[in-house]
Amino acid sequence: GENVEQHPSTLSVQEGDSAVIKCTYSDSASNYFPWYKQELGKRPQLIIDIRSNVGEKKDQRIAVTLNKTAKHFSLHITETQPEDSAVYFCAAKDQGAQKLVFGQGTRLTINP
Amino acid sequence: NAGVTQTPKFQVLKTGQSMTLQCAQDMNHNSMYWYRQDPGMGLRLIYYSASEGTTDKGEVPNGYNVSRLNKREFSLRLESAAPSQTSVYFCASSGTQGALGEAFFGQGTRLTVV
């Protein structure tokens, strides 16, 4: 079955700097790759997603890149702000089987 | 819009007791999921249902059963609770096509087994 590995588990950056979180997946049938943000005590919420026929997608300060050949995808946050502090999860989904598997999460801390 | 609703929000069980976590969505989604999240850990898939009438095991199905009662509702049952099942449980739902498959989560159920 699908296995999603996420690194690093914790990340601390200075406010204004960029943050990068990386994920790899194992199932070549996966074709949808969302990223979720979870604030303390809250439910995960989608921040950006990408389909396998697209290499890169941007939404303001957030971007996701996908290398389907290498089976890895990354989240890039630029100009980080204190409100970006949270746990971030990557995930992979086989749109056919509908199985959605998450990575282990990255605790991002933005230092003022 | 209610989105995904889970009940209860909190529950304390004694070892060996049983209970059912309820989940309902009002977005006409085909797919529904149950995850558990242990402290400081990621979201691990317990069971999922790709469509009404089907259920499949996820990464950690042992000790759980599920029922896809209809398109709206997907319940998770613990037949004989164990302390290792202490966790926060999230239900989620997603569409299949068109909406990119974004999964929406319920608010979570915090379960403690003593």
> pLDDT of A21-80, one tens digit each?
999 999 998 999 999 999 999 999 999 999 888 899 999 999 999 999 999 999 999 999
- Using a CB-CB distance cutoff of 8 angstroms, which residues of chain B are in contact with residue A104? 41-42
Secondary structure element (H or E) that encloses residue B110, with its range:
strand B109-113
The answer to whether residue A97 neighbours chain B at the CB level (below 8 Å) is yes
Distance between A95 CA and the closest CA of chain B, angstroms: 7
Phi and psi torsions of B94, nearest 5°: -150, 155
* Best B45, B54, B66 residue to mutate vs chain A (most A CBs within 10 Å): B45
pLDDT at B96: 60
What value does the mean pLDDT take over residues A93-111?
Answer: 91
pLDDT at A54: 82
pLDDT digits (tens, 9 = 90+) for B40-93: 789 999 999 998 999 999 999 999 999 998 999 999 999 999 999 999 999 999
pLDDT band for B100, please (50, 70, 90 cuts): low
- pLDDT > 90 in chain B, percent: 82
Cβ pair A43:B56 closer than 8 A: no
Peptide bond into A112 cis (omega under 30): no
* C-alpha span between B28 and B113 (Å, rounded): 33
Q: Both tokens of residue B5?
A: 């609703």
* C-alpha span between A12 and A63 (Å, rounded): 19
* C-alpha span between A17 and A14 (Å, rounded): 6
